[in-house]
Amino acid sequence: MMLPRRKFLYVAAVGAGFAGTRMARAQSYPARPVRIVSGFPPGGINDTYARLIGGWLSQHFGQQFIVENQPGAGGNLAAETVAHATPDGYTLLLTTSGEAWNATLYDNLNYNIVRDFAPVAAISRGPGVLVVNPSFAVNSVPELIADAKANPGKITVASAGIGSVPYMYWELFRTMSGVDMLHVPYRGGGPAVVDLLGGQVQVYFGTFASSIAHIKAGRLRALAVTSATRAPVLPDIPALADFLAGYDASVYVGVLAPRNTPVAIVDALNAAINLALTDSLITQRIADFGDAPLSLSTSEFAKLVVDETEKWRKVIRAANIRAE
């Protein structure tokens, strides 16, 4: 149907007005400092990523992006803070796969990872690595599985606590391989690695950031990486999927905003973070962590969050895991 010329011009003007408002909002953002909330203490990989991307965004926008640490409940306190913050682009969450599995691990959360956030941008994705103390007489994944099945409950496997990245990697391995090892939870990855190096525990599913230096120095023996294919940083180490078909576990890092944050602001942040991922200084730091840059649109990142939440929901329920 043809619109009368006068009505057509009115509709076009209204549309242009809305577009102009969105553009002006994006161009004036940020007008004051922005908080990036991290759910873990300073010094950890979550905090490090928040400061890395926050520093770059500060330079890019000419306004401070300040990291605020709110540790507790496996990152849930920080996520709740951001979910209930004013949706104006001035409070952001440095998120990881942890929020995706917390959705099933914890009962009665005061936020919903899919419903209550606007996905802004991904930053990186990286696998873990299955390592053992060199004194442990196992040199491959098939040997580890065979030994564990021959000696159920005798081999010790450390984690950084229920719901941690090492724990989730271990649970997926246990579910798919059918092995029975003695789980030894620690209050964080640091103490777990210390005891692994000292021989108090034998097996650990570590992050690259916590393990790579020890592997290269010969203090830990790498048996496999947790991704579906080999990792460039450890090209001689096989993937767990070579021995357990379908095994694929990695952690994404990204940024979320409260639901209903203006689309123009979300899009501006997405463009800026994706631009950061072309900066060689940023990509080198990400590579140092053993991760790879992950440049996604907002819709692609939203799909990743949904897919990871569903994937780990199945693992957690199959293993009957509950947060302590």
Write down the pLDDT at residue 45: 82
pLDDT in tens, 204-241: 999 888 898 999 999 999 999 999 999 988 999 999 99
What's the mean pLDDT in 263-268? 98
Beta-strand relationship, 156-159 and 203-207: parallel
Residue 109: CATH number of its domain: 3.40.190.150
Question: For residue 108, what are the domain limits?
Answer: 33-125+251-319
Write down the pLDDT at residue 120: 98
Q: Note whether residue 163 is domain-resident.
A: yes
Residues 108 and 132 in one domain: no
What CA–CA distances, in Å, run from 57 to 124, 250, 268, 301? 16, 25, 11, 19
Write down the pLDDT at residue 119: 98
Q: Is the pLDDT of residue 29 over 70?
A: yes
Q: Is the pLDDT of residue 292 over 50?
A: yes
d(CA 56, CA 232): 25
pLDDT in tens, 33-64: 999 999 988 877 889 999 999 999 999 999 99
Write down the pLDDT at residue 267: 98
Write down the pLDDT at residue 25: 54
Write down the pLDDT at residue 117: 98
Residues 180 and 206 in one domain: yes
Domain count, the chain: 2
Given a contact cutoff of 8 angstroms between Cβ atoms, the answer to whether 164 and 75 are in contact is no
Q: Is the pLDDT of residue 6 over 90?
A: no
Residues 169 and 192 in one domain: yes
Write down the pLDDT at residue 187: 79
Q: Note whether residue 7 is domain-resident.
A: no
Phi/psi at 119 (5° precision): -65, 125
Write down the pLDDT at residue 324: 63
> Based on C-alpha coordinates, what's the Rg of the chain?
22
Write down the pLDDT at residue 11: 45
Q: Is the pLDDT of residue 262 over 90?
A: yes
Write down the pLDDT at residue 71: 87
Q: Note whether residue 154 is domain-resident.
A: yes
Q: Is the pLDDT of residue 95 over 60?
A: yes
Residues 310 and 215 in one domain: no
What's the mean pLDDT in 84-91? 98
Which of these ranges, 11-25, 107-121, 255-269, has the smallest mean pLDDT? 11-25
d(CA 5, CA 80): 50
Write down the pLDDT at residue 26: 58
